[in-house]
Amino acid sequence: MTIDIVRIPVLSDNYVWLVHDAASGETVVVDPAVADPVLAEAKARGWTISAIWNTHWHPDHTGGNAEIKAATGCTIFGPAAEAERIPTLDQKIAEGDCVHIGGHAAQVLDVPAHTAGHIAYYLPTANAAFVGDTLFAMGCGRLFEGTADQMFTNMQKLAALPGETRVYCAHEYTQSNGRYALVAEPENKAIVERMAHVDAARARGEATVPTSIADELATNPFMRATSAAQLADRRAAKDSFK
C-alpha cells in the first residue's frame, strides 16, 4: 500500500502536508494554513481531498479549513479539547482514537503544551508522524498554553516511536533551532555535523523537514532533556535566544 506525502510551503515558514493513498484515492490535508495552494496542488496531481487533520487551533494551521471544505466537501478532524476554537470541526478526536486514509489507520496522540489540546497523528504503515508545533527539527513548540512537564511527557512519548519514523512538523525552523542546539550542547558532534548539512540546504533554498525520530534523539536538546526542569530551562533560554 503506497502513501505519498507532499510538502506545500505557505506563508513565511509554514508547511502544509498533503497525504495521498493511491489504493483508495483518498487524500488528507494536514494543518492547512491557507486554502488556495493546497487546492491547486491537489488539482495538479488529480487528487481529491477527502479529509483535513488539524493538530491544534492556531489560525496558521486551520485558516484554510472552511474554504477547502466548501470546495471539496471533506471531513475535518481535530482535537476534541479545542473544538470550541475550531468552528469548522466535524469530528472531535483524542488519544485512543484512530483516523483513516484508505486502509491505513493513524493513531491519535495527545501532546498538549504548545496549546492545551494539541494532538499528533502517527501513521505506522507510512512510518510517519504529523506533529504540528509540538516537535520540530532540533526544537519543540513554545509553551503557550501548557507546562514544561507536559512537553517533557510529549518528548518521551514521541521518542518511543520507532527511530525510522519520519516527523512532519509544520514550520521551517531548523536553522534557528540548530543555532540554539549548538549552545545547549556544545560538545555534541552530531549537532555540529547536522548543522553543516542544514546550513548548506538552506543556502540552496531547500527544506530541512521532514526529520526523523532517530535524528531528533541525537540532536534535539528538548527531546534529549533528562528532566522536565532541564527542558524548562532550555525552553526559557531558547525563547530569548538571538
Q: Which residues are catalytic?
A: 56, 58, 60-61, 114, 133, 171
State the first-to-last Cα distance of the chain, in angstroms, to the nearest integer.
45
What the block records as the C-alpha cell of 110 is 495527545
Among the listed residues 121, 125, 145, 77, the one whose alpha carbon sits nearest the alpha carbon of residue 135: 121
Q: How far apart are CA 82 and CA 84, in angstroms?
A: 6
CB 32 within 8 A of CB 63: yes
CB 136 within 8 A of CB 171: yes
Q: Residue-wise over 29-58: b if at least 16 C-beta within 10 A, else e? A: bbbbbbbebbbebbeeeebebbbbbbbbbb
Q: What is the CA radius of gyration of the chain?
A: 17
Task: Give the side-chain half-sphere CA count within 13 A for 154.
Answer: 33
Residues 6+ apart with CB under 8 A from 78: 52, 53, 54, 55, 56, 57, 62, 86, 89, 91, 92, 93, 119
Q: How far apart are CA 199 and CA 135, in angstroms?
A: 20
